[in-house]
Chain A
Amino acid sequence: MRHGQPTQTVVMGASWGGLNAYTTILSALPEDFPAAILLVQHQHASAENRLPWLLARYCALPVIAPEDKEPILPGHIYVAPPGYHMLVDSDETVAFSVGRPVHFSRPAIDELFFSAATVYGSRLTGVILTGANEDGAAGCEYIQRRGGLTIAQSPVSSEAPVMPEAAIKTGAISRVLDLERIGPFLAEHLSG
């Protein structure tokens, strides 16, 4: 960790094509990656919660299927379960909600991004990935207004470009990166 830098947290959101995006990014992160990562993958509510297990196979960091009130720890990856919004609470624990779907999705990327930006402010990095709807765009705007860093997967490297394009269109994206660059960028930027 960079000397004197406060702990960073990363939130990521993906929809169509997300599994490939996540495995590419997470496999590029070193064992001593210092930030907590919370991620949302749009999936059907009745889907089995296999994503944490799948991602763990590609990743040197511990992948958690969190329970309500789970403490958010550096160097751990928290995967939103199907059927629930995953949020960050003020005491840096995981919170869930079965409130109305947002952009037809539960979990929704915006729910995670807004709540995390409220708590972490400038200590947050938001990453919006491949997808076929506009979830996460408003969340990226809010992350930027709170002083956080925002990254979008380049539309050309996205299986479905709508989601990163919508985020880029808000003007609130700090960096547009090809998929292969995102993992190394996070490793470099957050490990220092």
Chain B
Amino acid sequence: MEPVMPIDDDQVNVEEVEIRLLLEAIYQLYGYDFRSYSRASMRRRIMHRLTMSGFSTIMEMTDRVLRDRQFFVTLLNDLTVNVTEMYRDPEFYRAFREEVIPVLKTFPFIKIWHAGCSTGEEIYSMAILLEEEGLYERAMIYATDIDKNVLATAKKGIYSIEAVKQYADNYRRAGGRNSLSDYFTARYDSVIMEQRLKRNIVFADHDLATDQVFGEMHVILCRNVLIYFDRALQERVIRLFSDSLDMGGFLCLGTKESLRFSGHDEAFDVVNKPLRIFRKRQFQHHA
């Protein structure tokens, strides 16, 4: 048996410094700010790329990042988790339909911000839901992400037919009124989302870590994005959301995300606890 090389706390501390330097290099050179992301999951993804690309240290990888834009794009794809699906957590969309839509129906127009929309599957899910509820005409959906590459995919609205087959079940469980196939056209082994669903969607790149308020939204969806942020950045982003929402506006988070540790939970009422639907309080009480 090979002797086991111990990894003591000093070595872990060295890696911590290397990670900080790598993230600083990425920020300074490419403008993506991962410095306040949850360290545990950043470290796992950096180590994954390190192993896959055969570097012996993080510093060695940083050197490559500084000189090779193509390699940076590969790493960026590892660092931004772009896992999504249509009607992800179908019960959330069902609750949205039952508990949020009736309120939105009383509004003359509806502004929805989907922060961290990734490759767009959930944007089209929402567009379809709004159309089925007769609200699409009055709605404007702002779809943002930090990563321009995934936004380009989102804008195209082209997905593999295999994936979409699996989404049909989600759609049904989410309370879909028709058939998901009513909303796309199949070509060979991919589908393209119907053009009419894109009319009221605006795609834009936006970095929650550095960019500013998006004004007077009625709904903000940001699901499974905050889990990648550290607590300080979560606080900043929840404040940003609170400032971007109209009084009575809805905030929808991922099913493991919480306002409990953000220091802003008093700014929101709970609409649906397990599915993480919150509503900005009408009247703020100042302590």
Residues of A within 8 A of B (CB): 66-70, 81, 84-85, 87-91, 93, 95-100, 111, 114-115, 118-119, 121, 141-142, 144-147, 171-172
Contact = CB atoms under 8 A, between A and B. Distances in A.
A100 B6 CA distance: 28
Contacts of A68: 226-227, 254, 256-258, 261
A88 B39 CA distance: 9
Chain B interface helix/strand/loop/mixed: loop
A67 B1 contact: no
A168 to B, nearest CB: 12
B9 interface: yes
A97 B228 contact: yes
B258 A115 contact: no
Contacts, number: 93
B260 A67 contact: yes
B7 interface: yes
Contacts of A93: 231, 261
A87 B43 CA distance: 11
A172 B2 CA distance: 11
A87 B9 contact: no
A89 B6 contact: no
A18 B249 CA distance: 43
A99 B83 contact: yes
A95 B9 contact: no
Contact of B45 (A99, A121, A172): A99
A81 B38 CA distance: 18
A69 B261 contact: yes
Given A96-B256, A98-B81, A99-B83, A69 B231 contact: yes
Contact of B44 (A91, A99, A145): A99
Given A68-B226, A98-B81, A89 B4 contact: no
Nearest to A110: B44
Nearest to B170: A46
Contact of B39 (A89, A111, A172): A89
A121 B16 CA distance: 14
Nearest to B38: A95
A80 to B, nearest CB: 10
Q: How large is the interface on B (under 10, 10 to 19, 20 to 34, 35 or more residues)?
A: 20 to 34
Contacts of A172: 4
Contacts of B227: 68, 84, 95-98
Given A70-B261, A147-B6, 12 more contacts: A68-B226, A81-B256, A84-B256, A85-B41, A89-B39, A89-B40, A95-B38, A98-B227, A118-B12, A119-B40, A147-B8, A172-B4
A102 to B, nearest CB: 9
B287 interface: no
A85 B40 CA distance: 11
Nearest to A71: B261
A90 B40 contact: yes
B200 to A, nearest CB: 28
B231 A97 contact: no
B263 to A, nearest CB: 11
Contacts of B6: 145-147
Looking at A98, A119, A141, the one whose CB has the most chain B CB atoms below 10 A away is A98
Task: In the A-B complex, list the 7 residue pairs whose CB atoms are closest, starting with the nearest.
Answer: A67-B258, A87-B40, A69-B261, A89-B40, A115-B40, A171-B1, A97-B41
A151 to B, nearest CB: 16
B36 interface: no
B39 A90 contact: yes
B125 to A, nearest CB: 16
Interface string B114-149: 000000000000000000000000000000000000
